[in-house]
Chain A
Amino acid sequence: MRLISWTLLTWVALSATSGWAQEKKNSPELLVAAAADLSAALQEVGDRYEKKTGAHLKLSFGASGALTQQIQNGAPFDLFFSADMDYPRQLIAAGAADQSSLYQYAVGKLVLWVPADSPLDLDHAGMNVLLNPSVKKIAVANPQHAPYGRAAVAALKHAGMYDRVADRLVLGENVSQAAQFVESGNAQAGFVALAHAVAPAMRGKGKYWEVPADFYPPLAQGVVILSHSQHKKEAAELLEYIKTKEAAELLQKFGFTLPQN
């Protein structure tokens, strides 16, 4: 009994002082909404930034369309990293984001991904492996609200294959869920972000084939500071960091290409 009360007392004391310490530090938490293709890359960029500046980032990942919905309905994010340029522009038009902050931070790449033990020969057949009868389900992100889903559908249409595989498509809520469907073996192939295929957690678990860039409209990805943000100064500082060579190199490591400027 005494032990329990001592533990409790210590815990209360500890949490009180740590709360006080956090307040004293006086660096606000930045809430960042980010497209699902950034789930590994932005984590690393964020870690680096936090260590450098002592800032606090809280990252939320989801389909860009879904996040846009949440922001329009008052989600308290400070910054939004989209997987395209349209959703940020939509938010600017709705008065929910600052026009002047819009910055294209990367161009994403779409890849066709199969599990490592798959017999499909991606290197030679490319997208044609999808016509193989052993491919029963093909995972894509939901094109209704995920840019990578739209890119996948565009690429299939460009290759003239969409109608032949449409009844085998399964939709992930976002591109991460599409990747998960393949990783768990439930789908035999899937269109995911190159950033997923090269992420440490996925490396070695699968093989990928880069969909040629002219098969789908470029996945130019934009970031904006949101109008409701209470921490615009800190958000702008993070945005400045994203523009540095260091952050750009990190993004490149995850398969993003950089905007031509």
Chain B
Amino acid sequence: MAGRLLPSHKKLQQIEGPATVSLFLIAALPFLGALLPGLMVKAGRNTCATWTGIISLSALIGLLVHAPAVLRGEVIQASVEWMPLLGLNASFYLDGLGLLFGTLILGIGCLIILYARFYLSRQDPMGNFYTYLLLFQGAMVGIVLSDNILMLLVFWELTSLSSFLLIGYWNHLPEGRQGARMALTVTGTGGLALIGGMVMLGEIAGTYELTELLQMRDVIQQSPLYLPALLLILLGAFTKSAQFPFHFWLPRAMAAPTPVSAYLHSATMVKAGLFLMARLYPVMSGTAEWFWIVTLAGLITMVLGALIGIFQNDLKGLLAYSTVSHLGLITMLLGFSTEAAAIGAAFHIINHATFKASLFMTAGIVDHEAHTRDIRRLGGLRHLMPITFAISVIATLSMAGIPPFNGFLSKEMMLEAAAHAHLGENAWLIPTLATIGALFSVAYSFRLLIHTWFGPVRDDYPHKPHDPGFGMYASPALLTVLVILIGLFSQPLVGHAVEVIAASILGNGAHPHVHLALWHGVTPALYMSGVAVAGGLVLLAMYKPLNAMWETAPRPDAKVIFDAIVAVVTRISNGFTDLLHDGALTRYAAIFFVFSALVSAHAYFGVDATQLTRTPIEAGILPIIAWFALMVSAACVVVYHRHRLLALVILGIIGVVVSLSFNYLSAPDLALTQLSVEVVTIVLLLLALNFLPEHTPVESGSARRIRDGVIAGGVGLGVAALAYVVMLSDFALPSIAEYHLANSYKGGGGTNVVNVILVDFRGFDTFGEITVLGIAALIIYGVTEGLLGSKVRQVLLERRPNHPIAGDEHPMMMVVATRLMLPIALMVGVYIYLRGHNDPGGGFIAGLVVAIAVLMQYMASGYDWADKRQRYPYHATIAAGVMIAGITGIGAFFNNMPFLTSDYGYFQIPPMGKFELATAMGFDLGVFLAVVGAVMLTLESLSRLAYRRGDMPDEYPMDINPSRAAVETTENEDKT
């Protein structure tokens, strides 16, 4: 039944054969697998790395299975509706762009996993590393496969968080922590802006599904919200992709272990911003705003990054600024908004990922072997590390854009596109700056090559370097092979793929024509390339004087600026927080009450008297007496609340009146529940009062009390008015009560509709509730354990009771009475449980009744005596209850029904006549056990605090027992 009521919750919207399922699986695999490394690391570092690799590899294979279809131009979709009203659906789709990024993330991910196995030392917790890596990988895959932009945002934030863990992996290093914080601050802030921009975009388009949204170019670009949405989205993309002026976090993030840098800064994290721009390209690009902002940001970043890169002495720092520069290059291409530029961008994303990942890894190898990454302390390594040198030289030449490697091809495409780009009326600025960027890029590439590898072999390396084992250079070597192959055979290898990718960047049904070749004839780009290479080499030749100039030139230090901004923001927010949160919790509560009363007051004045259409029920004398009792009791509690015990007793009266009112107002189940909970609550509070002071001291002056009284009175008046209006107005919408009443017997097989709702219609809620109750009891148990394990235990043992203890702690009358009542009370419990489905009663109430019966034994006969006779630990009772309820629910699966659908039938058992059995009984049994366990565990925990030094375990249930006295007397007589 439960399932039939809630059809829309988990409906599979579309399943297009087995292919669609695997998109979910691809996105989920890294997350599911993230637990494995932590477990597997116990079995050794190889096992750990192998399993991590298997996870990534299977996700990669899953993705590549779709590749043929995507390359044919198909788009693969998978979606599950989650909250359709909010537009929040779990929907994925895979097109050319998604395939490109997915392959980069998972493919390079596999290589990084292999590399990291050999890079990390024994002291590094490898399980953590791979877990973070897989979390990050999953988040990245999620971004590129998401169809729903809200889900994309969730994954986006996940990348910021998991990259924080990765960058700060060496958390013993201050640079690592600072770098991670800076990265998180910058990308996280950008992420917040992005949320705003994406939500605006979704609101403009009226849909949050990318596949639909990307068709609405005109609607989006004509909207007045286009510009704010664009700015916010670009803020998100620029911070993530380290575009000027947010480029400063990327080099700081180099404090991370090299595998992380290689992964985050070649293929994944920083490319997420590019991905986003490429993804939204069909609807955002082409406008003047887009062209100016994106092109300029990209251009400045490209030139500036390359310039700073030349003067970096840290290998990874150089590569970091080079990454910034290349990201700028791709951003600029996207800004151009032309077909040729989009093709160039797509191609350069591939090429940059291959040579840059390879370069980061070789830099890591140098660091690993020579124990330094400072270019000034290196040089002459080509003789010592020939294999690493070979890898590095090819990747570096590709980075510099030297033929025949792949970097040359896409750089040519960039220069070609730049040659045709106009900045407003100006036709020479972009080509010139692009050439200068390329020139700088040649300069830093050759500096890396010559200053690290060439020159004489030195004898002052911190550690004598040599080539590492195969495991460590396998990954960069493989990428370098790709660098060569893509360079030489670009058109047959990736030509078609680039076409498909560019088509999905351009969107709107574009069919770009791609022709990749090393030789394009004599074009402007070739001249520009030539100038760049020559100029770059000249620049390098003049490195020494230039470096001296650079060192003396004033440069703003991004870290100082960043720290200053952070310090100011921290000061402001601290001041704000101190102003609002002064530690006076009661003040917060008062503010909360006043505020909510004021807000609701607005609604009160909208009521008109004609709305009160229901006929009031005339009150007899009994309700008025009960009302009077309640009023007086409430007043008494407020007046006498300083006398805690008295207040507690009067509270009990209120509970009883509430319970009676429930009964009067046609809610027998509620009356029973309220009554039994009341008993348990009062016992609980009494137990606690044992340890607390008996009186509340007078602390607040009369002004304060009057203020509180006014607040309380005002809110009370408001709530009373609200309740009155609600009770006398008719339902605004037809109530679903009719459904429950009509189907209770037919569908749930019971005539007590409240109970049927609990165990059947809304069984899932109840299941959650007993779980929560169990958790609450376990928390209390845990807190008790914590207290008993701390210094508090001493305080408790030495505690003086508030009152002298009665001589007869376990009075005979009470012991006998409770003992006699136990079986009767248990029987009542069973009876209430059994009748529950058709008459007032049920698992909740039965559980409370049985708990009270057992509780009485503790109270009368002492903790030790009762505990000794208690065979089932209460933890187990809770667990059994929740499990029985769960298993009963799962049972519905065998009936081909949703979780917790109940079934019932009538059975003839000869002496008892016709008998109804419903599976809901099993569920109710679970409820019963969970309630008994939770209540008893709570009270038992609390009573364990009551031990004092010198307390003897109660040997007998009764302190004074005539029969025992007689036996003891005879024993004594025997001895004499």
A and B: partners?
A: no
